[in-house]
Chain A
C-alpha cells in the first residue's frame, strides 16, 4: 500500500481488507486546520478476488458510494458513480468522483491491475527463508532481480519486501510518482502498477507499459486511464498486443472532475 502527499492533493492506495474510506473524515478535519478545504475526490477500484472478506463500507460499491456521499461536504456538488464493465466476468472498474467545480487538470493517471502472473516472475517476490535481510534490503534485492528500476531509470525508488512474500515500491521523479504492489501467492497472484503524467509525458507510456507487462507476464491485465487533456488510452493496445496480450474490452465514461476514464482489459491467447 502507498500514500503520496502533495501540497494540494493526497493519494492513498491500499490492498487487503483495509477500510480506506474511513480516512476521508480525518483528512478533511486535519486539512481544515491547515486552512485547506476539499475541492475534489476520486475513488477507484477493480473487483475484489475475495469480496466476502471486505469489511464495511467496502462490502459493496453501493455501500462505498453511500459512505462517501455522507462523508463529503455539500460544496462538492458535481458527483458521479459508475461501474465500468468488461467482457471478463471477474473484471469491472468502479469509479466515484465528486468536486466543487468541473475543473479538469492536465495530468493523466494510469492504473494497471494484473492477475495470474507468470510463476517464475511471481517467484521473485518471495523472501528466501532466513535471508538475514530486513524489509528494505530484501526490497532492494527484489527491485534489482526483477529490473523494476528500469521502468523509469530516473526515478528514486523506495522499496519494501514483506515476509514471507509480497512487495511494494514507490518511485519519485520530479512531481511524478509511480507505485507497484505485488501479491505473488499462486492461485491469486496479483500485481499493480500506477503512474501519472502530463501533456508531454504521454509518449513514454508505451515503453512503460511494455516494461511492466514483461516484468510480470500476467494472463489478464486491466488498464484504466483517467485523463482530461490527453488521450493516452489510445497508446495502450498498440503497446501490449505485440507482447501477446489481446484487447478483450474497452469502456469509456466521462466524470465531472476527472475527465475521461477509459477501462481496457487484455488477456493472453493462452486463456
Chain B
C-alpha cells in the first residue's frame, strides 16, 4: 500500500427535491418556505454519521444554512 497522506480531492453530491404536490412548488407552501431546512439537526447528524463527518462550525442566512464539517 503506497504511503498515504490525507486525500484532498473531494467527492461532491448535489440533490434537488420538490414538494409532492406540484402546486406546492412555490417555496412559501413548503412549510413557511423552509423545505429541507426543516430537517432537524438530529436527522442531519444521522446523515453525516453515515458519511463519517461531524459539524465543527455553522452559519446561515435567509436563503440557506451552511456547515463546515470535519471527517
Q: Which A residues lie at the B interface, using CB under 8 A?
A: 1-24, 26-28, 30-31, 34-50, 52-54, 58, 99, 109, 111, 113, 115, 135-136, 139, 156, 158-160, 162, 166, 168-170, 172, 174-175, 177, 179, 181-183, 185, 187-192, 194
Of residues A21, A31, A34, A48, which shows the largest number of chain B Cβ atoms within 10 Å of its Cβ? Answer: A34
Chain B nearest Cβ from A110, distance in angstroms: 12
Is B69 a contact of A47 with CB atoms below 8 Å? no
* A1 lies within 8 A of B4 (CB): no
Residue B61 lies at the interface, judged by CB distance under 8 Å to chain A: yes
11 chain-A/chain-B pairs, Cβ below 8 angstroms: A10-B17, A14-B53, A15-B11, A36-B18, A45-B11, A45-B12, A46-B9, A50-B5, A172-B64, A185-B6, A192-B10
Question: Contact between A50 and B7 (Cβ–Cβ < 8 Å)?
Answer: yes
Whether A8 lies near B67 (C-beta < 8 A) is no
Query: Which residues of B are at the interface with A, using a C-beta cutoff of 8 A?
Result: 1-2, 4-21, 24, 27, 30-31, 33-39, 43-44, 46-48, 50-53, 55-61, 63-71
Among the listed B12, B17, B59, which residue makes an inter-chain contact with A9, where contact means beta carbons less than 8 Å apart? B17
Determine if A9 and B14 form an interchain contact, defined as CB atoms under 8 angstroms apart: yes
Across the interface, do B70 and A5 meet the contact criterion of CB distance under 8 Å? no
Q: Please measure, in the bound complex, the distance between the C-alpha atom of A1 and the C-alpha atom of B22, giving whole angstroms.
A: 33
Q: Is the beta-carbon distance between B37 and A47 smaller than 8 angstroms? A: no
Point out the residues of chain A lying under 8 angstroms from B67, CB to CB: 2-5, 170
- A1, B48: Cα distance in complex, Å: 11
B36 touching A50, Cβ below 8 Å: no
Q: Which 8 A-B pairs have the closest CB atoms?
A: A190-B8, A7-B35, A183-B8, A1-B69, A16-B71, A175-B63, A36-B17, A158-B59
Interfacial chain B residues near A158, Cβ < 8 Å: 57-59, 66, 68
Q: A7-B37, A45-B12, A48-B7 are in contact. List 18 more A-B contacts (CB 8 A).
A: A3-B48, A3-B55, A4-B67, A7-B36, A8-B36, A13-B12, A15-B8, A16-B6, A23-B51, A34-B38, A35-B19, A47-B9, A52-B4, A156-B61, A158-B57, A162-B70, A170-B57, A191-B8
